[in-house]
Structure 1
Amino acid sequence: MTEQRNRYHHNAAWQAAQRWQARARHARPSSQPNGLKLILAWLMIGTMMIVGTLLGLFFLLLGWLMMPLVRHRMKKRMEQMRADQARDVGPGFDQPRHPSDGHRVLEGDYQVRK
């Protein structure tokens, strides 16, 4: 047994491991967290989770309540766009347009190919 110990003491890896363990023991905090700090930490985390859940539910309900309003607004906008398109077409949409309509006309001879 003593031979085995002597072998370990001369081994560089064993000595490095011993030094590492010693440093780890010194770096470890000496005081354990007491029960009061632990309970307060759990209470704070629990409270934050409850507040986060309540905020999420509030915004979810707010979104659901706003859906009919947004739908109504979008419906009005679509009706306005349809009315604008109908006004653009106008009653004489099959007649050629004149340059005074704000559109340019290309003049020239055109042929329809079949």
Structure 2
Amino acid sequence: MDANKKLTRLLERDSNCQAIGTISAVQRRKDRNHLERRQQQRAISNEMIKVALLYGKKGFSRGATVFTLNDRILAKTPYAKFIDLLRGLRVVCLDGPPDPKILTAYWHEATKRRGHKVKAYH
């Protein structure tokens, strides 16, 4: 079973999932399907966005709410085995949960590169 299917099944069992409510994309005048296109280009599923909204570190930037997933946060969640898949995901919202209105989602490269450092033993 691939990682996205496992992630979907884990989300279905997560009792915190109801706190999200209904996810909707912000419809901009010039670019109506921005979020969907970016998700497809960047291989970001709706399930990944839900995990970021539930457990991501909340921040604010230019009037928007930003949720970022990193190793430290994911290690304390049921999604710890998906650290390599979810590390660095950022979701930008106008309104946070419940019923978030999402502007875009992307991979924050500096966080993505900051994986586990394997210590070399001599």
Coarse TM-score class (shorter-chain normalised): under 0.3
Structure with the larger strand share: 2
In terms of Rg, which structure is larger? 1
- The normalised TM-score by structure 2 is 0.15
Structure with the larger helix share: 1
